[in-house]
Structure 1
Amino acid sequence: MRVLMLSKACVVGMYQRKLEELAQQPDIDLVVLVPPGWRDPDRGWMPLERAYLEGYDLRVTPIRFNGHFHWHYYPKIAQEIRRFKPDLIHIDEEPYNLATWHTLWHARRSGAKTLFFSWQNIERRYPPPFRWGEQWVLRTVDYALMGTQSAAEVWQAKGYRKPLAVVPQFGVDPVVFSPPERPRSGASFVIGFVGRLVEEKGGAMLLDALSQLDGVWQLDVVGDGPEKENLMAQAKQLRVADRLTFGSLPSTRMPGYYQGLDVVVVPSLTRPNWKEQFGRVIVEAMACGVPVIGSSSGAIPDVIENAGLIFPEGDAAALTDLLRQLMRSPDLRQTLAQKGRQRVMEFYTQAQVAAQTAAVYHQMLKID
């Protein structure tokens, strides 16, 4: 089968590993269209990385309104469809944006089967024209992939009645994201935080929790965003600024970052229009044998299950207590490291995600 995928997410090199795995599945000829980069509102310019390119064709295509999540689209999608003549078009976009509408319109004219992907786990009502476009997509598309069961429930509540499957958008490569050859040694207890520096990611609450943690520790933050200056000021006020580092890393250097940590904290906070959708950081850290402490927001408990520790979101004292437990117990850290790695190997590798996605493709082409 000839599969055309459209994905701005796949400008990230690590995400391309799934594409290699997908191309290795039986009877799949894969072409993936990506923009030259994506201008993320929080992370800034994210240029295309070329990391994993075996077995499929990665093509760069122009994008209009780059960085505008609802309005961006790919003006040459019709030409690409005519050029490749796909049996199936995988639109790696949410159903309420122009890129999905535009691609689906041209896909219908070609006769190709279509699917979209969604992480949205809170029911939102958009104003026109987004609501109109969203409903048209739900009526017109052949299949939907959902990142979590809660996302599936949201779209069914909004009227989606066609086939769907719950499959993560990406997994991890357990060879790249792997435990260090030797256990980390050092006097300081190293805590990691990865993500956008925005209020809902819980950075301020994490600093409150750390300010009550005794002993020798440091926090290594990877990420950027509008809350950075506020977090730095808060750290100074709490007198922990000398224990913090802020920085950014390309995706290819993230495994080494995780391998230098004792724990990763995912302290996300639910907001009226957002709750944690998956927490890719969780599976990356667990794959590297790093214990994870996560809040109760959104999908975090479902991803971690019994392979990590959960605290009530927003409860700084509870987070301090869990950090203290891990800090004092190398045995607990080792147990959670092993459980986390095992959970990733069972559910969240790129190979498993690719196999589940390929199974959906085969099912779709049997749909009348």
Structure 2
Amino acid sequence: MHILIVSHSCATAINQEIYARVQRETGWKITLVVPDQWHDEFGNALRQEPCKGMEDSVIRCAVWKNGSIIFHVYRMRWQKFLRELRPDVIYMNHEPYALATAQVCHANNSSIRVPFGFYSCQNINKKYPVPFSWLESMVYRSSTFALPITDRVADVLRAKGFRGRQTICALPLDPERYHPRLRSQPPESFPKTDLPVIGYVGRLVEPKGLRTLATALGQVRDLDWRMVLVGTGEFQPEFEKLLAAQGVRDRIFFAGYVPHHETPRWLASMDMLVLPSETQPNWEEQFGRVIPEAMACGAAVIGSDSGEIPYLIRQSEGGLVFTQRQPDELAVALRQLISGPRLRRQLAENGRHWVERDISIPAVAQKMIDTFSAAASTHNHSRAGKTSSLASTHAFAQP
């Protein structure tokens, strides 16, 4: 079987590993179309060599509106490309309302008409303006399957009218790359301390709940701890003022920007990770990828009840949940983990087990294999039925 996958996120080699696993497990041929280079949110132009196993599978393509997940499109004559490639299944690792998804979906409808599917992490039932709403509806009508990352995302797809097969596929990670053993190899700049370390990894922007975090840290200043923040953002100067007002600025280390492939060692060096995100009118946490990454590295997690955060924490039993914008509740959770090494260890063990069982690359790859197989099988059965019916009609018409 031949699978065509289109993915802007696979401009980063680490994100190709799930497809290398599918190819290795099945012997299928996979063609992976990625942007020739991709401008990420930090302004970096990503252009990496394919991961091991995908060296002969990757096709690079220039894009318009580079860096815009929703608005970018591929500079390719897709109908011609599809007729020449003749894949058995097409999977768009893009949202159903993205222009690139509509671009490839329309080309498939106009040429080879093979099973088509998409990815989604949108957990809010948003109404998009024309023409995006039209394109989104076209993708729903034309798609055989979808791979939403959570149950809540699947609910949104159903509410919007998608009637195809849905398979929950969390954002996968490699539990060998994210592993507690990395704690013995902390980054050179990581603060040297025997005290419990609270960690934060993400953008330093106000919707991430940093005001609430600063107040909560002030409420546990009677305990001994240190904090490490990985990331950058425009809210950092204000956040530092808030920390100083709480009397805890000298306990905080700002690591700044850290490349994604280096974050496992930072996470493994933290005793607990805090994710205090706060839902906005048009945004809430969709997955919180740093949660399973931290759990895989052996850290307990404290998260707010924004978006998918509480569902991930409760599924995994790997952390504590507090009500967003409630610093008193966050302070209680911090106090529990700072003062409770046994609780930290138990939560970390729970989280690590969940990652290996449910969202590791092998686990998610098997879900993808089952979905692609079912899509191709149903299509082939339907096509065979039509051929048989047509043959019977012709036989009946003979004089």
TM-score, normalised relative to structure 1: 0.93
Tell me if 1:299 matches 2:300: no
Q: CA deviation at 1:75?
A: 1.3
Q: Distance in 1 between matches of 2:84 and 2:233?
A: 40
State the partner residue of 1:34: 34
1:210 and 2:212 aligned: no
Alpha-carbon distance in structure 2 between the residues aligned to 1:31 and 1:287: 30
Mapped pair 1:318 → 2:319: no
The DSSP-based 3-state class of the residue aligned with 1:221 is strand
The Cα shift of 1:45 comes to 2.4
The separation in 2 between residues aligned to 1:361 and 1:77, in whole angstroms, is 25
Report the more deviating stretch, 212-221 or 318-327.
212-221
Task: Name the residue aligned to 1:147.
Answer: 149
Give, in angstroms, the shift of residue 82 of structure 1. 4.1
1:144–1:165: 8 Å Cα contact kept in structure 2? yes
Structure 1 SS opposite 2:291: helix
How far apart, CA to CA, are the structure 2 residues paired with 1:30 and 1:175? 24
- Do the aligned partners of residues 46 and 290 (structure 1) sit closer, same or farther apart at CA in structure 2, a change above 3 Å counting? farther
The letter for the 1-side match of 2:312 is V
Q: Deviation of residue 264 (structure 1)?
A: 0.6
Is the counterpart of residue 240 in structure 1 residue 248 in structure 2?
yes
Counterpart of 1:107? 108
Residue 250 of structure 1 corresponds to which residue in structure 2? Answer: 259
* 3-state secondary structure, aligned to 2:146: strand
Q: CA contact under 8 A between 2:37 and 2:62: conserved in structure 1?
A: no
Question: What is the rounded CA distance, in whole Å, between the counterparts of 2:242 and 2:61 in structure 1?
Answer: 43
- The 5-angstrom pairing of residues 48-63 of structure 1 reads 48-50=47-49, 52-55=51-54, 57-63=57-63
Alignment RMSD: 2.0
Structure 1 window deviating more from structure 2 (126-135 vs 208-217): it is: 208-217
What is the Cα deviation at residue 365 of structure 1? Answer: 0.7
Higher relative contact order (CA 8 A, sep 6+): 1
- In the alignment, structure 2 segments of 5+ residues that lack a partner are 187-191, 383-399
Aligned match for 1:188, one of 189, 192, 195: 195
Decide whether the 8 Å contact of 2:180 with 2:268 is kept in 1.
yes
Counting matched residue pairs gives: 366
**Is 2:236 the counterpart of 1:225?**
no
| Post-superposition offset of 1:80 | 4.2
Contact kept in structure 1, 2:183 and 2:265, CA below 8 Å: no
Structure 1 portions without partners, runs of 5+: none
Distance in structure 2 (CA, Å) of the matches to 1:267 and 1:182: 24
Higher helix fraction: Structure 1 or Structure 2?
Answer: 2
Q: Distance in 2 between matches of 1:226 and 1:298?
A: 23
Aligned twin of 1:358: 369
Aligned to 1:132: 134
Secondary structure of the structure 2 residue equivalent to 1:24: helix
Structure showing greater radius of gyration is: 2
Q: CA deviation at 1:84?
A: 2.8
Confirm or deny: 8 A CA contact 2:5 2:32 kept in the other structure. yes
Alignment partner of 2:286 out of 277, 290, 299: 277
Please state if 1:96 is matched with 2:97: yes
Q: What's 2:11 paired with?
A: 11
Task: Tell me if structure 2 keeps the 8 A contact 1:23–1:30.
Answer: yes
Q: Does 1:86 align with 2:87?
A: yes
Aligned to 1:302, the other structure's residue is in SS state: helix
Q: Deviations over 1:59-89 (max 9, x none)?
A: 2211111123332110116154344321111
Q: 2:274 aligns with which of 253, 265, 277?
A: 265
Q: After superposing the two structures, state which structure 1 stretch, 348-357 or 101-110, moved more.
A: 101-110
Say which SS state the counterpart of residue 274 (structure 1) adopts. Answer: coil
- By how many angstroms is 1:90 displaced? 0.8
Structure 2 Cα separation of the partners of residues 257 and 162 of structure 1 = 40
1:167 is paired with a residue whose SS is coil
What do residues 281-313 of structure 1 show as CA deviations (whole Å, max 9, x unaligned)? 111111111111111122112212222111112
Determine the C-alpha separation between the residues in 1 that align with 2:154 and 2:182.
39
In structure 2, what residue type is equivalent to 1:16? Q
Separation in 1, partners of 2:73, 2:60: 13
Tell me the distance in 2 between the aligned counterparts of 1:275 and 1:119: 11
Q: Give the alignment's TM-score, normalised by structure 2.
A: 0.86
